[in-house]
Amino acid sequence: MPTSLALPAKTDAPILPAPVAKLSRHLMPARKRDDVAPRPTAIIYCEGNFGAIDGKTANGLVRHSEKYEILSVIDSEKAGLDTGVVLDDRANAIPVCRDLADALWQAVDVPDYFIFGMAPLSGMLSMHERKLVLEAIGLGMNVVNGLHEFLNDDPEFAAASAANNVHILDVRKPRAKKDLRMFSGRIDEVTCPKIAVLGTDGAIGKRTTATILTKALNDRGLKAVMVGTGQTGLIQGARYGIALDAIPSQFCSGEMEATMVEAFEGENPDVIIVEGQGALSHPAYLTSTFILRGSHPDGVVLQHAPGRTNLGDFGDMPMPTPASEINLIETFADTKVIGLTINHENMSDAEVGTAITDYTSDLGIPVTDALTRSPDRLAEMVFRAFPELEAKVTGQAQ
């Protein structure tokens, strides 16, 4: 890799892919930021997947990040677009860049973090991706890695991080087995309502809905705490959570339970919202079983994508219906599905409206779309199932 890189003058012309050199922070173009945020800055790598299923980590961070200030997303296939427009048809001033050189040019300074923003089925880096992450480390950027491949255990990455005085955060890496916790029954000590947001498939919007629901309840005067169960929620800054799919199965229910107890004791919340993973019916992902067993939810909000005909990662396997998933959940666990939320991918707004009407009639439960409809509908869904929570809000208002 070259030892220096002459950056071209800034123009409106697209920046072509270029090798990235080892630059110190003070050598980057000195352009003043109008808004200096206290959060560390980050760029997200999501080549060929931004806005798609395997880009769910990048998608989630662009929509919500308490921990990092997201400067840009790298995806050459959507370079030049606004990330908010790509995801939600609403501009957010976070650009999609062609490559690392483009992302560095558009940043005021070398970002603090390079986030690997994809969640491929393999959970591993390709050879090209290895090289790119090493380039980022060479520039002095810390790395956030949500894959099943732990970079701190790789001699090449460990040596590079030490040489450049940066940190690699392997989000999914669990604590040592001797420190993992077994199920104990202490979940019964969590006396506030517990609501899990589950789904009919993986990468279907459970975390997004859980985040919006948590905010909606907090905005109405309740103290709602979200417990994350996957790498994206942890990267976003969830105070309580675990990467459940990286924990040996014997400890999953116990770790889930212990995290719920920690959130309850640490926050004294009115309600806990639990991010779901996979689907209970899914043949490849079993994390929903541990969420149901470990968190003992009092209610479940189910997320479904009517526009999907087959499972996201298994194109020859048909999607379950909401009715079949509800029956499975309520048979498997002592809980009740209190509402259905729609993932509107591949649907027009009119089709979403029709789906809401039809599912409400067919299932007899409230139905909404967390992203395109008012968050009031999510809050009302919870208040209908847990009137004691609505009473708290009413009491505070008097």
> Which percentage of the chain shows pLDDT scores above 90?
87
Please give the single-letter amino acid code of residue 201: D
Please answer whether residues 151 and 142 qualify as being in contact, where contact means their C-beta atoms are separated by less than 8 angstroms.
no
- At 398, is the pLDDT very low, low, confident or very high (cuts 50, 70, 90)? low
> What number is the average pLDDT over the span 66-94?
97
Q: Give the chain's largest Cα–Cα span.
A: 67
The model's pLDDT over 174-184, given as tens digits with 9 standing for 90+, comes to: 999 999 999 99
Which domains does the chain possess? 25-30+37-170 (3.40.50.720), 179-397 (3.40.50.300)
Q: Give the tokens for residue 331.
A: 């048979």
The model's pLDDT over 219-233, given as tens digits with 9 standing for 90+, comes to: 999 999 999 999 999
Please answer whether residues 100 and 132 qualify as being in contact, where contact means their C-beta atoms are separated by less than 8 angstroms.
yes
Instruction: Provide the mean pLDDT of the chain.
Output: 91
pLDDT at 397: 72
Report how far residue 197's alpha carbon sits from residue 226's, in angstroms, rounded to the nearest whole number. 10
Instruction: Check residues 58 and 122 and name the one with the higher pLDDT.
Output: 58
pLDDT at 38: 75
The model's pLDDT over 109-132, given as tens digits with 9 standing for 90+, comes to: 999 999 999 987 777 899 999 999
How many CB atoms are closer than 10 A to CB 185? 8
**168 bridge partner residues:** 143
pTM of the model: 0.87
Report how far residue 60's alpha carbon sits from residue 254's, in angstroms, rounded to the nearest whole number. 27
- At 396, is the pLDDT very low, low, confident or very high (cuts 50, 70, 90)? confident
- At 250, is the pLDDT very low, low, confident or very high (cuts 50, 70, 90)? very high
* E strands, 306-384, in order: 310-311, 314-318, 337-342, 367-368
Res 34 pLDDT > 80: no
Please answer whether residues 241 and 232 qualify as being in contact, where contact means their C-beta atoms are separated by less than 8 angstroms.
no
